Amino acid sequence: MQEPDQRISIRDVVHKIPLRFSSKLHKVNWDDIIDQTLPHINNHRKNTIRHAAGKYSINPVLILSKLVQDQKKISTRFQSDEEFMLSTNSFANELSKYEHQFDALSPKVEISRVEYSLRNALNMDEELMNDVLATCDSILQRHAILEKTGIYKPIDQRDISKRNEDDTIALELPYSNMECWQLSSTHFGALETEGVSDTNGILSSIDFSPSLYQRWYIPFDYLFSSGEVYASHGGKLYKHSDCSVEIVDDATSFSTYYSHLQLNDIIDGTSIKQGHHLGNVSLDPSNSNCKCNYAKKEFACATGPHMHLELRKNGKPESLDGRTISNLRIKTGSLPHDLYCSDPRGRCDLAIGINGEKCATTYTDISSGNITCPVTKGANAGKK
């Protein structure tokens, strides 16, 4: 790749780079850009980049630009695919984490969302910050990304999108209506703040499975299920990796992200309808985590077979609170995985937190008023 021009203005660049992997950016041929930017990496590492971008909903340009700088420095060159995967996921996770921190601090922070997140993820290294942004600018121009995606004007990165109650998308449960699956408590999307903050995040996600207590490699036959997963709504499908896809509804800018799956062979950009068969819950820990080093538990590995479903809007996690999926109206918990909630013998509607207020996730049948409780609390799938 041609050396980028180092004489750039940080502010000029950060104001035209979206932080999130929005629906407009999904339309770009990222495989081609990865091949031209990092021509000598293997397929596993390419898959790692796509998976990290999709999982954390981070603009691939930012991830690629950091990897270009890593390859220039002997101290940060990766000797193994596992090291590459760990570093790539960690950087994407850091960007997502600091964006949440920015939301908590704003308007006290004077710089933009992207600049704040990037500076912190790069440990305030000014030289590295300049190099990464110069590479970003080079990739944007070389592949005409801003022109192709219709992003021409500077982005107001300080704008925190507010929930518009008129925004709706019809969601269906992602499994057959002939089956009865278990639902987890609501939690953060893609673990972006897990282990860092109990409070600073958006409860956008639910885990589903015929059994959330099951061990790896055991089929769901005894539950009369094969773990088939279906699209919760219609839209264009984008494959992020061997185990994750996102379905984008361009009309509303909502999307749903699905992970830990054995995917069907569906071409990127295919328009699908609600109920389209996407694949099955993966029973293999390596495939489920897209080659996560499960044995060493180095980074965010699922602990058992399940599917992760996350609601997003414009590439950002969107709260599930008050939303309806099939006939179930969701009330999110006050903390991810209903942490610090009491457990009054399955009565999640009576669960009380440390502040004395109701705190648990509930699923209310809108036709009968009956309440379904999550089957697990804490880090759920596969644990006793």
The 10s digit of each residue's pLDDT in 52-76 is: 999 999 999 999 999 999 988 766 6
Q: What pLDDT is recorded for position 161?
A: 44
Instruction: Tell me phi and psi for residue 92, to 5 degrees.
Output: -65, -40
Q: What pLDDT is recorded for position 383?
A: 43
The Cα 380–Cα 302 span in angstroms is: 9
Q: What pLDDT is recorded for position 27?
A: 87
The 10s digit of each residue's pLDDT in 211-223 is: 999 889 999 999 9
- Measured N-to-C along each axis, helices 81-105 and 43-56 cross at an angle, to the nearest 10 degrees, of 20
Residue 327's contacts (CB-CB under 8 Å, 6 or more residues apart) are: 365, 366, 367
The Cα 262–Cα 280 span in angstroms is: 5
The 10s digit of each residue's pLDDT in 8-47 is: 677 778 888 899 998 889 989 999 999 999 998 999 899 9
Cβ burial of 195 (10 Å; 0-12, 13-18, 19+) is: exposed
Is 30 within 8 Å of 163 (Cβ atoms)?
no
Q: What pLDDT is recorded for position 198?
A: 54
The Cα 38–Cα 178 span in angstroms is: 46
Q: What pLDDT is recorded for position 121?
A: 95
Residue 272's contacts (CB-CB under 8 Å, 6 or more residues apart) are: 231, 234, 235, 236, 237, 247, 266
Instruction: Please identify every stretch of the chain with a pLDDT value under 70, giving residue numbers as ranges.
Output: 1-8, 74-78, 106-107, 152-167, 190-200, 290-301, 344-345, 377-384
The Cα 212–Cα 13 span in angstroms is: 44
Is 50 within 8 Å of 57 (Cβ atoms)?
no
Q: What pLDDT is recorded for position 364?
A: 96
In the chain, the domains with their CATH numbers are 10-149 (no CATH), 182-372 (2.70.70.10)
Both tokens of 272, joined, read 């699908």
Amino acid at 194: E
